[in-house]
Amino acid sequence: MEQGAKPAPGEEDPDLVNVGKEPITLKPGGCYFSQADSFAMIRGGHVDATILGAFQVSKTGDLASWKLPNATLGRVGGAMDLTAGSKRVYLCMQHTTKNGEAKIVEECTYPLTTLRCVDRIYIDLAVIDVTEEGLVVKELAPNVTFEYVQERTVAQLKNLADIQVAVNGVQL
């Protein structure tokens, strides 16, 4: 934790690498732990939240994040452990692929990472919560309308502004 700048050539420490296996330095007060320890923390349920990217996410929070269809390469890595072991899973991604295809879909068509694990989706257009009632648009980016987001989304969205909230039977 508290990763510093890239080390100068010749000053690399083979024990200090990031997840991409690139050499790193530590900021003052920083610390590090082994990959085995990190997975023990994840698998032990000691991670409050994880933030990942995704190729697709379904209306029920199913996640496809490790392999594209027809790709010869693809590895799950720690994504399955992170999504299964974290208390909350947040996705950060572009709303569509480079080809304009929706990433938020009714059902994932790509190989699945984990079922029903996603809690919230941060996209370039909005913030969307995955709830028992479905996908709820919680916030919109400036100058973006709910209709604009829905037109570019395969899955049906619900607009938080249209949802009636009741507390103890009283409409708010």
Q: Centre a 10 Å sphere on the Cβ of residue 101 and count the other Cβ atoms it contains.
A: 11
Question: Rounded to the nearest 10 degrees, how much is the dihedral formed by the CA atoms of 133, 78, 111, 70?
Answer: 140
Say which residues have a Cβ less than 8 Å from residue 140's Cβ, sequence separation at least 6.
125, 126, 146, 149
13 phi-psi bin (left φ>0, alpha ψ -120 to 50, beta other): beta
Largest CA distance in the chain: 68
Q: What is the pLDDT along the chain (172 residues), one digit of tens a residue?
A: 678 889 999 999 998 888 778 999 999 998 888 888 988 999 999 999 999 999 999 999 999 998 777 766 667 678 889 999 999 999 999 999 999 999 999 999 999 999 999 999 999 999 999 999 999 999 999 999 999 999 999 999 999 888 655 455 555 4
How far apart CA 87 and CA 47 sit, in angstroms, is: 7
pTM for this predicted structure: 0.80
Question: Rounded to the nearest 10 degrees, how much is the dihedral formed by the CA atoms of 58, 63, 64, 65?
Answer: 140
Domains of the chain: 47-171 (3.40.1080.10)
Say which residues have a Cβ less than 8 Å from residue 158's Cβ, sequence separation at least 6.
133, 134, 135, 136, 137
- φ, ψ for residue 33 (rounded to 5)? -145, 165
2 phi-psi bin (left φ>0, alpha ψ -120 to 50, beta other): left
β-pairing verdict for 104-105 and 56-58: parallel
pLDDT at position 109 = 94
Residue found by looking up tokens 């991670």 in the block: 47
150 and 102 in contact (C-beta within 8 Å)?
Answer: no
